[in-house]
Amino acid sequence: MRGTNSQGKVVPPLRVYVDSSVFGGCFEQEFAEGSRRFFDFVRGGRIVVLLSDFVIDELKEAPSHVQAVLTGLPKETVVQVEMTVEAARLRDRYLGSRILGQRSAVDAMHVALATVIRADAIVSWNFRHIVHVDKMRRFNEVNLSTGYGPLTIASPNEVRFEDDEQD
């Protein structure tokens, strides 16, 4: 599974960790266009979705039409990632640095898992705890201080490819 760039060269798909807000966003007026476009990229082979057990569990509790977004994706475009001790340690570093409070530990785990598995990005509609400029900076400060590289954090609206951008 590969996409092509504007020069026609074959490129591997982006590996993007996605939280449940992107799936639910397909059915919310404010977020529908961005979520649907994102999943079009997935179906087109440009993105591989990385999902944790946390996200899968959240989706199991979601309405059937939200679950259908996941089940409608080609199997080869979805990779399940497992919780690791390494990710739990990084989550604890985020919480210890007071980037997020204990009640937002699952959000911190999403960022930690995306970082540990070296995802190309994490995509979310969670502007309070994840897609937030100050928190992004602080997550990446911890990442760099613990030997990880920076993580790109974006909303689905920010996921673009050269050949689909309009001047």
Structural domain 14-161, CATH architecture: 3-Layer(aba) Sandwich (3.40)
Domain map of the chain by residue range?
14-161
pLDDT average, residue stretch 151-167: 82
Q: Read off the pTM.
A: 0.90
Is pLDDT at 1 greater than 60 in this prediction?
no
**Angstrom distance (rounded) from CA 166 to CA 155:** 18
Torsion angle of C-alpha atoms 21, 64, 33, 121, degrees rounded to 10? 40
Mean pLDDT of 122-150: 94
- State the alpha helices, DSSP H only, in 1-146: 20-24, 32-43, 53-60, 64-71, 85-96, 105-116, 133-145
Of the chain, the percentage scoring pLDDT greater than 70 comes to: 92
Q: Which residues of 148-157 are buried (b: 16+ CB within 10 A; e: fewer)?
A: beebbbbbbb
Mean pLDDT of 154-166: 82
| 8 Å CB contact between 14 and 121 | yes
Query: Quick one: pLDDT band at residue 167, thresholds 50, 70, 90?
Result: very low
Task: Tell me the average pLDDT across 61-81.
Answer: 96
